[in-house]
Amino acid sequence: MVNYILFNQKYLHFLIFLLILFFLFPHQVIIHAEISDSDLNQIEIKSNNIIYITGFTPFFNYSVNPSESIVNELNQTMIQNYSIIGRILPVDFIEAPLLIQGDIKNLDPSLIICLGLDSNCDSITLEALSINLKFNVSDNQPLQTFQRLKRGGPFIIPTRLDIKDMFEDLKNNDIPASISFSAGLYVCNAVFYETLFYLTESNIKTPMGFIHVPHLEDYNNNGMKLETMIDGILTIMLTNIQ
């Protein structure tokens, strides 16, 4: 597994933090909402053939959010015999997860992929886990916003997508890719965690995961072409429906 993990120095402190929590508070940190081996066998693509994908509107001082651009390009298109349905989310801790939950009820999708911008990354970044914490850096008193997303919820819920296969398929298609163990503590992580929590509590076995994308090449020298990002997301979809 180590061969598939690209360790980034900015995540080292986070991994140490998780290890400390695990050894000090094992009952609180153990992922009691993770999917068991028997549940994994039940995660199957449904017959309605809908892939649900989300992105975000621009936030902070960014004039463009590539996750929005990707979703707009893919919305109402087809991949193999699957319809891609897109939703652009507001950068809001409360409204964004609720919109996704409503769409899941209405669409009953076969696959859920949520996208967001990571201004510090330069590759398609596969998020391995979500965290039951939030921190609103845009709040006037951000320290007061540092709290759990769900009281009584597990500290960590892992992705339901196959990180290893997605990483391999992206690399085989010459698309820059990496694996991350921290989706941050902003709205991206909130959407990731709350959607997985909702699916688990509702006993919905649909595969779901979160992908971070870099800035557009035109916006940042370390960015990526929109076409490359779209190819990457389509590759991820194919990995999960084949």
For β-strands 111-117 and 50-56, DSSP reports them as parallel
Identify the band that residue 186 occupies on the pLDDT scale cut at 50, 70 and 90.
confident
DSSP summary character for residue 133:
-
Which residues have C-beta within 8 Å of that of residue 205, sequence separation ≥ 6? Answer: 39, 42, 43, 44, 199
Residue 181 confidence (pLDDT) above 60: yes
Does the pTM surpass 0.85? The reply is: no
Q: Which pLDDT score, from 0 to 100, does residue 177 have? A: 98
The CA distances from residue 209 to 12, 60, 61, 146, 218, in Å, are 22, 24, 26, 23, 27
Q: Which pLDDT score, from 0 to 100, does residue 18 have? A: 54
For β-strands 129-131 and 156-158, DSSP reports them as antiparallel
What number does CATH give the domain 2-7+47-241? 3.40.630.20
CA distance 74 to 30: 37
How many CB atoms lie under 10 A from the CB of residue 42?
Answer: 10
In this structure, what are the phi and psi dihedrals at residue 126, rounded to the nearest 5 degrees? -90, 115
**Mean pLDDT, the chain, integer:** 83
Q: Which tens digits make up the pLDDT trace of 3-44?
A: 333 434 444 445 545 544 544 444 444 444 444 444 434 444
State the number of CA atoms in the 13 A half-sphere of 211 facing the CB: 33
Catalytic residue set: 127, 188, 212
Q: Which pLDDT score, from 0 to 100, does residue 22 have? A: 47
Lowest mean pLDDT among 61-65, 166-170, 202-206: 61-65
User: What counts of helices (H) and strands (E) characterise the chain?
Assistant: 8, 9
Q: Cα 4 to chain center, whole Å?
A: 18
DSSP summary character for residue 53:
E
